[in-house]
Amino acid sequence: MSEQTATPVSWNATEYHAHSSAQTEWGRQVHAKLALRGTERIIDLGCGDGRLSAELAALVPDGRVRGLDADPSMVAFAQRSFVRPNLTFTQGDVRTFALSGRTDLIVSTAALHWVSEHEEVLRRCREHLASGGRIFLQMGGRGCVEGVLEVARELVQEPEWSGFFDRFVSPWSFYGTEQYEHWLPRNGFRMVRAELIPKDMTHPNPEGMAGWMRTTWMPVLARVPEDRREELVAALVKRYLARYPVDAEGRTHVQMFRLEVEAVAS
């Protein structure tokens, strides 16, 4: 795939809600590390379907949570599905958002690898934080899903598919800790921790893996005619499992890396 022209991303909130169990579990692991008092004002960047924002709101009954996502279908789904007195959802870009008031904590889980301009995100975060406020960002990190990407790069070079992927640009930016070591102090933060954490994404069967790909690989699938997308998903899953077979229980495994970043406004 050459990397010159980006494909717009359009989400299906219902499909994401059904096939994002791994992202949800990893988000809950982040919540467990937050040491919340219950009074925090929190912004959840890239809140997606709103499920994790609602769980955060339950953890801060005397605080508030504002979920922000760029996709209108995600925001609409969240507003319909999760209603709490201390929870609101807003459509906005993580690079340019402007919300009223200051906040104590900005959290993001499984979202920021969808944008490349992380310093713009950090600047917006710093503008919104109260004195002593903090960020906890979790996202796909360097090396994430490399096995699937390797298979995809091979597949789309074949004559059957190559014509659809001329000038294709990957929508994902998987950074390492060293970038954040430079970016945080440059944008008004003192780093507490930056860590790449390996994760094993499992699905109960190949169809579960196909559902994950339908849900999150929209920029790839959008390049082919709609009536051939299932064919492409099937080809990707088949080739991947030929190289990385299912386990004894029939489950699929994808090697992930999550980048976790904790910092305090300086």
pLDDT of residue 166 exceeding 70: yes
Residue 178's φ and ψ, nearest 5 degrees, are -65, -35
CB distance 219 to 6 below 8 Å: yes
Domain boundaries in the chain?
A: 13-144+170-201+255-265
Each residue of 208-237: pLDDT tens digit?
Answer: 999 999 988 989 999 999 999 999 999 999
Give the least confident one: 82-86, 140-144, 165-169: 165-169
* Interstrand relation of 129-140 and 41-45 (parallel, antiparallel or unpaired): unpaired
- 200 token code pair: 């094993």
**What is the distance between the alpha carbons of residues 151 and 52, in angstroms, rounded to a whole number?**
31
What is the arithmetic mean of pLDDT over 149-154?
Answer: 95
Residues 6+ apart with CB under 8 A from 40: 60, 63, 104, 105
Please state the separation of Cα 51 from the chain's center in Å: 14
**What is the distance between the alpha carbons of residues 197 and 41, in angstroms, rounded to a whole number?**
27
Rg of the Cα atoms in the chain: 19
What is the CATH T-level fold of the domain 13-144+170-201+255-265, as seen in this structure? Rossmann fold (3.40.50)
pLDDT of residue 6 exceeding 50: no
Query: What pLDDT is recorded for position 19?
Result: 55
Q: Burial level of 248, CB count in 10 A (0-12/13-18/19+)?
A: exposed
Query: Quick check: helix, strand or coil at residue 42?
Result: strand
Query: What pLDDT is recorded for position 25?
Result: 87
Residues 6+ apart with CB under 8 A from 20: 48, 49, 110, 215
Cα–Cα nearest to 187, from 127, 101, 130, 139: 127
Residues 6+ apart with CB under 8 A from 173: 113, 114, 115, 116, 118
Query: What pLDDT is recorded for position 2?
Result: 32
**What is the distance between the alpha carbons of residues 110 and 133, in angstroms, rounded to a whole number?**
21
Each residue of 7-34: pLDDT tens digit?
Answer: 456 666 566 666 556 778 889 999 999 9
- 95 token code pair: 């690079």
Query: What pLDDT is recorded for position 107?
Result: 98
What is the arithmetic mean of pLDDT over 241-257?
Answer: 98
**What is the distance between the alpha carbons of residues 225 and 124, in angstroms, rounded to a whole number?**
37
Cα–Cα nearest to 257, from 9, 26, 1: 26
CB distance 261 to 135 below 8 Å: yes
Query: What pLDDT is recorded for position 17?
Result: 60
**Which strand (E) or helix (H) includes residue 225?**
none
Each residue of 173-211: pLDDT tens digit?
Answer: 999 999 999 999 999 999 999 999 999 999 999 999 999
pLDDT of residue 4 exceeding 50: no
Burial per residue of 120-133, b for 16 or more beta-carbon CB atoms within 10 angstroms, e otherwise:
ebbbbbbebbeeeb
Each residue of 70-114: pLDDT tens digit?
Answer: 999 999 999 999 999 999 999 999 999 999 999 999 999 999 999
